[in-house]
């Protein structure tokens, strides 16, 4: 009977997020105020009383979700007893801090560096993503390979739901070909760029320097990483996989399947929203899923 803890990525944000956590006790308040100092602006104002538009800015979204997840995990105290953890995209950083691979300040600085690097990469080349519903992975991969523009599978979210990433022209072509191939829906996403694709190479190089300069420790329990869906405990391996994550696909379906195969009997989502609980249920309807609550 193993407990798996999951940490959400971009898209889980909502107006007012974290306000209850800020007011939970002095320790949580101190962490939020420390974050304001580290980031150099009052991210708490954006989280608690900003608009949806404010929260959509990558340099706000990513640290906001990270802070909500990490501070919640810390506030859980002895209730937080994971046998295994994983985070979706940005959530991998939250997971690493929650299990002691990175300290709070180092994790937040990396998340801020990642958000800024991704923002710059988006400005270098306009690009986007699209969600593909109702097609098997192989068909989607095959269609992507037939397009001359850059288009790659970016997020294997659950069976029948795969997100592709690429140039604007490439995604337009993919929408057309994937619809012809029998997808139920192909939905262009309102995102700033082609995350988890080769178009993020400039961001990967920038982030690598920041990751290499950070100290990584052995985790409290195995971390199932996005790039290969395997459990890792070696700090150097974790580091290398985290660097590859920006240009590689998020293998979320495979992570959930691997955790179940390794004995996970319950999944707890730590952070805003309930997207990951829904994805677990799509992999295995019988799995017990909950949201972490104080």
**Catalytic site residue 217?**
no
End-to-end Cα separation, the chain, in angstroms: 22
Token pair for 95: 């997971």
CB-side neighbour CA atoms (13 Å) of 76: 20
By the 8 A CB rule, do 2 and 84 touch?
Answer: yes
List the catalytic residue out of 68, 88, 165, 196: 196
Token pair for 151: 């288009």
Pairing type for strands 161-167 and 151-158 reads: antiparallel
Task: Write the Ramachandran bin of 20: left for phi over 0, alpha for psi from -120 to 50, otherwise beta.
Answer: alpha
**Catalytic site residue 196?**
yes
Sequence-separated (6 or more) residues with CB below 8 Å from residue 265: 1, 2, 3, 287, 288
- The residues assigned a catalytic role are 89, 196
């Amino acid at each position: 009977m193993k407990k798996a803890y999951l940490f959400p990525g971009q898209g889980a944000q909502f107006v007012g997020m974290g306000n209850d956590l800020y007011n939970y006790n002095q320790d949580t308040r101190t962490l939020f105020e420390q974050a304001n100092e580290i980031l150099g602006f009052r991210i708490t104002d954006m989280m608690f009383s900003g608009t949806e538009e404010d929260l959509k800015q990558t340099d706000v979204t990513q640290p906001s979700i990270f802070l909500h997840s990490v501070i919640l995990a810390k506030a859980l105290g002895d209730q937080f007893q994971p046998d295994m953890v994983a985070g979706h995209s940005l959530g991998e950083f939250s997971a690493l801090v929650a299990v002691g691979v990175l300290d709070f300040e180092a994790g937040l600085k990396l998340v801020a560096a990642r958000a800024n690097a991704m923002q710059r990469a988006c400005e270098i080349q306009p690009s986007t993503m699209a969600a593909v519903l109702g097609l098997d992975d192989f068909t989607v991969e095959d269609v992507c390979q037939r397009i001359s523009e850059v288009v790659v599978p970016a997020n294997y979210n659950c069976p029948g739901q795969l997100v592709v990433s690429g140039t604007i022209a490439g995604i337009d072509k993919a929408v057309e070909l994937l619809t012809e191939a029998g997808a139920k829906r192909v939905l262009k996403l309102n995102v700033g760029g082609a995350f988890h694709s080769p178009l993020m190479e400039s961001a990967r190089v920038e982030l690598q320097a920041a990751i290499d300069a950070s100290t990584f420790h052995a985790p409290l329990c195995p971390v199932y990483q996005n790039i290969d869906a395997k459990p890792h405990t070696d700090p150097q391996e974790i580091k290398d996989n985290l660097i590859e994550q920006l240009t590689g696909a998020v293998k979320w379906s495979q992570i959930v399947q691997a955790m179940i195969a390794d004995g996970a009997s319950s999944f707890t989502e730590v952070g805003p929203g309930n997207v990951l609980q829904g994805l677990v249920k799509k992999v295995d309807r019988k799995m017990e899923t909950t949201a972490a609550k104080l």
